[in-house]
A = this chain, B = another copy of it.
Amino acid sequence: MPINIPLLLPEQLLPIAGVSLGTAEAGIKKPDHKDLLVIDLDDGAKVAGVFTQNRFCAAPVIVAKQHLAENSIRALVVNTGNANAGTGNSGLEHAHTTCTALAEILGCNAQQILPFSTGVIMEPLPVKAIVNGLPAAVANLKQNNWFDAAHAILTTDIVPKAVSKQIQLNGQTITISGIAKGSGMIRPNMATMLGFIATDAAISQTLLQEVVHYAANHSFNRITVDGDTSTNDAFMLIATGRANHAEICEKKSAEFTQLQEAITTVAGTLAQMIVRDGEGATKFITIQVDAGKNPDECHKVAYAIAHSPLVKTAFFASDPNLGRILAAIGYAGIDDLNVNDIQLYLDDVLVAENGGRAPGYIEEDGQRIMNQPEITVRVVLNRGSAAATVWTCDFSYDYVRINAEYRS
C-alpha cells in the first residue's frame, strides 16, 4: 500500500492558463479504463524535457526528442497499456501515425506533437485504437482536468500522483501543476517513467531547459524502486508565459532561482510519490550520504544501499539486521574507503562506527526505528564535504507478486 500519500482531491489541482487536458478510454489494453491523454498548449508555450538514457529507448522517445529539438510544440499525447518500446521500425511508424492523426484534428503539423507511451515492452502498439480514441480525448479538453489526467497515465500505480503549488514572483501569482506516473522499472536516468509539469510563468527557452535538468537531477534522478531504468522515461516541463510578468531571461535573477526552486519542489513531491507508491512498497526510505569526497561517490554508496535486495527485505521485515547496510557500503565501489572512519545512523540512532557496532547501540533502538513507515539511513563517510540523497522503498512479497503477474 502507498506510504503516506494523502488522498488526492480534484480541487487541490490548479489549472494553468494556456494548458488544456483531455482524456479518453481508447481500449488499448483493458476496457472501461482511461488510457489516453492529450495535453493541448496555447501558442507561445515553451516546452523543455529530459529523456531516458536507456539505449533501447522507446519509439515515442526517439520521435519526441526529434520534434522537441526542431519545433514549437502544440500538444502532447500519452497512452498507457503499451510502451511502444523494443518495437523497431514499425514502432517508429506507429508513433508518427499517432502524431499525424492528432495534428489533423488540432490543425497543426505532426512535428508539433510530442508522443509518449507507457506499458508493456516489445508488443506492437495498437495504433488504431489510439487514433480512434483521439477525437474523444480532444473533445474532452479543458483547463480544469489535471485530476483526470493524473488517473489516465497510470499503469501498475495504485494512486494518482499530482500536485499544485503557487508562488509570488514580484507580487504576481505564479501557478505550477504537475502529474507523474511510475511504480516499477524505476531507476530513472534523466527522468521518471513519465512526468509532466506546467507553469504559467514566462521564461526563456534556454533557462527552461536549465530548470528541467536541475529539477530532474534533484527529484526523479534521485529515486529508485528496483534499479531497472525504463525504456520510456520522460519528464516534460511546460511554461505558457500567460502570467502577467516580464519573461525571465537572466539566470542570476532572484526570479529564476525562485521559480527553479518551486518547480524542483513540485518535481520532488511527484518523485517521492512514485517511491511511496513503489510496487509492493510498505516503507519509504531516505538514504542520505554525507561528508564524501565528491557527489559521485556519495551516490554510489546511496544506490548500493538502495538497490541491495538484502537491505530492502530487511526493511520489509522491520528487522534491524543492519550489517547488511555495512556490506552494501563496502561493495559500493570506493576503492580507498576506510571503513573505520564511517558512521551509520538510523534516523538519530548511531548504529555503527570504528568498523563495527557503536558501543551505545542497543537493538531496541534499531527495532523502534525499523518499525516506522518512514526511515532515514544516514551514512557519514568523513572524507570530504560532498553529499547525496536518494529515496527508495522496501522489497516485499507483493513486489514479486506484482511483477510475476503483470502482463499475464
Interface positions of A (Cβ within 8 A of B) = 53-57, 83, 85-91, 120-124, 184-185, 187, 189, 226-231, 307-310, 313-314, 316-317, 319, 321-324, 326-332, 334-335, 337, 339-340, 352, 354-357, 395-397, 399-401, 403-408
Q: How many subunits of this chain does the assembly comprise? A: 2
Q: Contact at B55–A339, with CB atoms within 8 Å?
A: yes
Output the nearest chain B residue to A57 by Cβ-Cβ distance: B330
Q: In whole angstroms, how far apart are the Cα atoms of A400 and B91 in the complex? A: 37
Output the nearest chain B residue to A335 by Cβ-Cβ distance: B55
Q: Contact at B310–A83, with CB atoms within 8 Å?
A: no
Chain A, interface SS category: loop
Beyond the given pairs A187-B331, A309-B309, A317-B404, 6 more chain A to chain B contacts, judged by CB atoms under 8 angstroms and listed by A's residue number, are A57-B330, A88-B355, A227-B307, A231-B326, A314-B404, A316-B404
Q: In whole angstroms, how far apart are the Cα atoms of A316 and B91 in the complex? A: 29
Q: Contact at B83–A323, with CB atoms within 8 Å?
A: yes
Residues in B neighbouring A352, C-beta threshold 8 A:
86, 122
Q: Contact at A228–B408, with CB atoms within 8 Å?
A: no
Q: In whole angstroms, how far apart are the Cα atoms of A313 and B398 in the complex? A: 11
Output the nearest chain B residue to A315 by Cβ-Cβ distance: B404
Q: In whole angstroms, how far apart are the Cα atoms of A83 and B403 in the complex? A: 33
Q: Contact at B408–A54, with CB atoms within 8 Å?
A: no
Q: Contact at A86–B397, with CB atoms within 8 Å?
A: no
Output the nearest chain B residue to A316 by Cβ-Cβ distance: B404
24 residue pairs of the A-B complex, CB under 8 angstroms, read A55-B332, A55-B334, A56-B330, A86-B357, A88-B340, A88-B357, A121-B321, A121-B324, A123-B323, A123-B357, A184-B310, A226-B308, A226-B309, A228-B331, A231-B330, A313-B399, A314-B404, A316-B400, A317-B403, A317-B405, A319-B407, A321-B407, A396-B400, A397-B397
Minimum C-beta distance from A61 to chain B (A): 11
